[in-house]
């Protein structure tokens, strides 16, 4: 049955939707052993939402949901929690605006909270179980020991100089999930510049690094599950804004981009919302064109899509070689983008602000979206390892707003605009991918 068109397990009226996690003794995980579960990945693994890490959302990260369902426990899976309203990817938190994006008013205007939050469990005397690092690429997950969110996640006082892979493996996991590679293409999509070796990782380097990670996990005897990465045309960051506008005579007139009028297959990125509000991109004198950073050309999209396909072929091949479960996120999100998602008779879509699946940054899921993704992981793990881990209830997150927003009134989701701080927050987490060294640092499985 196509998951994108079926209701999730039970309807809203069924009591089990709101049931607590099963007791550990009642959960059959089959051949998968969750006595020590470690999750490796990037911002999607970390539970990043609306351009920030914050405790409210981290507690519903997909690894935390998997752990609860597989073990029946709410404690024991440690994460680098951050107090609300969170910490964004802004390097210098301009004007103190560091928290999650939210609706400032019903215009709607979207901005970060100010001030932001702070880490709450830095004194944990061991590595975290959630080794998801916002901004991480395949290569940096394997090699980085500091910088950006690595400084929050890595426990240098207990494992000085270790990488994320080394720290996670020092816990001797019995099971691991790996969802990495998103930032190896997202930098191209969010910057509007698709250049191999700059914003796109060369497939040969991707394969070398991905295999090194998989080999390191296998070296400690852990079973694992892996996930493909979604195409950028499945996310609202790329698909929301139109490439044309309606003229007074009713005709559709293309916006002006860096190379002239936008054509079929070109995309206007969320980061262009402020420029469009300032009447940029109009075919009139005095209107600046949209910049290359605000537009993805059809050729750039084709280049990105080709890299996504190459990366996913590598991920599928390695998963098959390692006997890993495979969660096909690419197929799932493409299906939702095309057909929507029926959950208990309620329709969810990939639309920005109103679809219910994506948060205010247009890239990361809402809490509901993360819970749904966790169930995709659970389904894949059960199928591969003959388990009967119950899917998570979606009821508690189904009607939860993505972030605190103004109450009352109505807004036109097509007329949103990000503040300058909000636009900076959108851009900051997806730094361009630098050309990696020829010889990556070898990970160690035992420490």
For position 54, what pLDDT does the model report?
A: 93
Q: Is the pLDDT higher at 98 or at 27?
A: 27
Is residue 117 very low, low, confident or very high in pLDDT (cuts 50, 70, 90)? Answer: confident
**Is the confidence at residue 338, as pLDDT, over 70?**
yes
Per the prediction, the chain carries an average pLDDT of 86
**Is the confidence at residue 38, as pLDDT, over 80?**
yes
C-alpha to C-alpha distance for 353 and 372, rounded to whole angstroms: 18
What are the pLDDT digits (tens) for 127-154?
999 999 999 999 999 999 998 899 999 9
What are the pLDDT digits (tens) for 199-241?
899 999 999 999 999 999 999 999 999 999 999 889 999 999 9
For position 398, what pLDDT does the model report?
A: 80
Q: What is the dihedral of CA 309, 335, 3, 68, to 10 degrees?
A: 60
The DSSP secondary structure of 124-180, one letter per residue, reads -SS--SEEE-TT--HHHHHH--SSTTHHHH--TTTSTT--HHHHHHTT--SEEEEE-
Q: Which of 235, 182, 212 is CA-nearest to residue 441? A: 212
Burial of residue 277 (number of CB atoms within 10 Å: 0-12, 13-18, 19+): middle
Distance of CA 180 to the CA centre of its chain: 10
For position 91, what pLDDT does the model report?
A: 55
For position 274, what pLDDT does the model report?
A: 93
Q: Is the pLDDT higher at 216 or at 446?
A: 216
For position 159, what pLDDT does the model report?
A: 62
Domain 3-428 fold? Rossmann fold (3.40.50)
For position 405, what pLDDT does the model report?
A: 46
**Is the confidence at residue 23, as pLDDT, over 60?**
no
What are the pLDDT digits (tens) for 266-285?
999 999 999 999 999 999 99
Work out the average pLDDT over 73-84.
95
- Region of 93 (left: φ > 0; alpha: ψ -120 to 50; beta: rest) is left
- Contacts from 348-356 at CB under 8 Å and sequence distance 24+? 350/234, 350/235, 350/236, 350/239, 351/236, 351/240, 351/413, 352/236, 352/240, 352/270, 352/413, 352/416, 353/108, 353/413, 353/416, 354/413, 355/236
Taken in order 234, 237, 241, 243, is the CA torsion positive or negative? negative
b (16+ CB within 10 A) / e for 383-395: ebbebebbbbbbb
Taken in order 178, 179, 183, 184, is the CA torsion positive or negative? positive
Tell me if 100 sits within 8 A of 113, measured CB to CB. Answer: yes
Beta strands at 52-53 and 87-88: parallel, antiparallel or unpaired: antiparallel
DSSP state of 436: P
Is residue 409 very low, low, confident or very high in pLDDT (cuts 50, 70, 90)? Answer: low
For position 442, what pLDDT does the model report?
A: 38
Instruction: Specify which residues 365 forms β-bridges with.
Output: 358
C-alpha to C-alpha distance for 403 and 112, rounded to whole angstroms: 11
**Is the confidence at residue 169, as pLDDT, over 60?**
yes
For position 321, what pLDDT does the model report?
A: 98
Q: List % helix, strand, coil for the chain (3-state, nearest 5).
A: 35, 15, 50
For position 424, what pLDDT does the model report?
A: 82
For position 94, what pLDDT does the model report?
A: 56
CA distances for 46 relative to 55, 177, 207, 284, 409, angstroms? 11, 12, 23, 45, 33
Residue 171 has which token pair? Answer: 């816990």
Q: Is the pLDDT higher at 414 or at 342?
A: 342
Q: Is the pLDDT higher at 110 or at 288?
A: 288
Q: Which of 138, 140, 43, 142 is CA-nearest to residue 100? A: 43
Is residue 410 very low, low, confident or very high in pLDDT (cuts 50, 70, 90)? Answer: low
**Is the confidence at residue 287, as pLDDT, over 60?**
yes
Burial of residue 405 (number of CB atoms within 10 Å: 0-12, 13-18, 19+): middle
Instruction: Specify which residues 226 forms β-bridges with.
Output: 178, 326
**Is the confidence at residue 339, as pLDDT, over 50?**
yes
**Is the confidence at residue 73, as pLDDT, over 90?**
yes
Q: Is the pLDDT higher at 370 or at 354?
A: 370
For position 406, what pLDDT does the model report?
A: 44
In the chain, what is the greatest distance between 2 CA atoms, to the nearest angstrom?
71
- Contacts from 145-153 at CB under 8 Å and sequence distance 24+? 148/89, 148/431, 149/43, 149/46, 149/53, 149/89, 152/53, 152/80, 152/82, 152/87, 152/119, 153/46, 153/80, 153/128
Residue 87 has which token pair? Answer: 């910490």
For position 413, what pLDDT does the model report?
A: 62
For position 8, what pLDDT does the model report?
A: 34
CB atoms within 10 A of CB 284: 7
Is residue 10 very low, low, confident or very high in pLDDT (cuts 50, 70, 90)? Answer: very low
Q: What is the three-class DSSP state of 196?
A: strand
Is residue 370 very low, low, confident or very high in pLDDT (cuts 50, 70, 90)? Answer: very high
Is residue 1 very low, low, confident or very high in pLDDT (cuts 50, 70, 90)? Answer: very low
**Is the confidence at residue 81, as pLDDT, over 70?**
yes
Highest mean pLDDT among 3-12, 391-400, 425-434: 391-400
**Is the confidence at residue 399, as pLDDT, over 80?**
no
Question: Side-chain half-sphere of 233: how many Cα atoms within 13 Å?
Answer: 19
CB atoms within 10 A of CB 23: 10
């Amino acid at each position: 049955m196509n998951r994108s068109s079926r209701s999730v397990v039970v309807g809203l009226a069924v009591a089990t939707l709101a049931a607590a996690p099963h007791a550990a003794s009642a959960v059959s995980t089959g051949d998968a052993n969750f006595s020590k579960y470690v999750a490796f990945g990037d911002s999607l693994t970390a539970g990043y939402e609306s351009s920030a890490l914050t405790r409210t959302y981290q507690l519903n990260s997909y690894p935390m949901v998997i752990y609860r369902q597989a073990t029946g426990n709410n404690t024991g899976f440690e994460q680098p929690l951050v107090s609300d309203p969170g910490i964004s990817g802004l390097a210098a938190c301009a004007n103190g605006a560091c928290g999650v994006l939210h609706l400032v008013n019903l215009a709607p205007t979207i901005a970060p909270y100010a001030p932001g939050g702070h880490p709450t469990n830095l004194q944990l005397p061991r590595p975290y179980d959630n080794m998801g690092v916002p901004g991480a690429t395949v290569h940096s997950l394997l090699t980085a020991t500091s910088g950006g969110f690595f400084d929050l996640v890595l426990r240098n006082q207990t494992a000085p100089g270790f990488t994320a892979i080394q720290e996670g493996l020092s816990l001797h996991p019995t099971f691991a999930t790996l969802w990495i590679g998103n930032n190896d293409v997202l930098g191209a999509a969010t910057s509007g510049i698709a250049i191999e070796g700059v914003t796109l990782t060369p497939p040969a380097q991707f394969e070398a690094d991905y295999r090194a990670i998989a080999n390191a996990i296998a070296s400690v005897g852990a079973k694992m599950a892996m996930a493909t990465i979604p195409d950028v045309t499945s996310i609202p960051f790329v698909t929301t804004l139109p490439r044309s506008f309606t003229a007074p005579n009713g005709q559709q007139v293309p916006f002006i981009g860096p190379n002239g009028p936008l054509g079929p297959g070109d995309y206007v990125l969320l980061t262009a919302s402020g420029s469009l509000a300032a009447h940029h991109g109009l075919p009139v004198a005095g209107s600046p064109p949209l910049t290359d950073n605000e537009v993805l050309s059809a050729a750039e999209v084709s280049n990105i899509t080709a890299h996504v396909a190459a990366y996913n072929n590598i991920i599928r091949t390695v998963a098959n070689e390692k006997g890993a479960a495979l969660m096909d996120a690419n197929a799932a999100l493409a299906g939702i983008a095309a057909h929507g998602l029926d959950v208990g008779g309620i329709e969810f879509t990939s639309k920005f602000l109103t679809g219910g699946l994506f948060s205010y940054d247009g890239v990361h899921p809402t809490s509901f979206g993360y819970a749904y993704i966790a169930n995709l992981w659970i389904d894949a793990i059960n199928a591969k390892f003959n388990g009967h881990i119950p899917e998570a209830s979606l009821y508690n997150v189904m009607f939860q707003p993505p972030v605190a927003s103004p109450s009352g009134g109505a807004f036109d989701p097509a007329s949103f605009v990000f503040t300058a701080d909000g636009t900076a927050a959108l851009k900051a987490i997806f730094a361009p991918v630098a050309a990696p060294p020829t010889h990556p640092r070898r990970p160690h499985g035992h420490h």
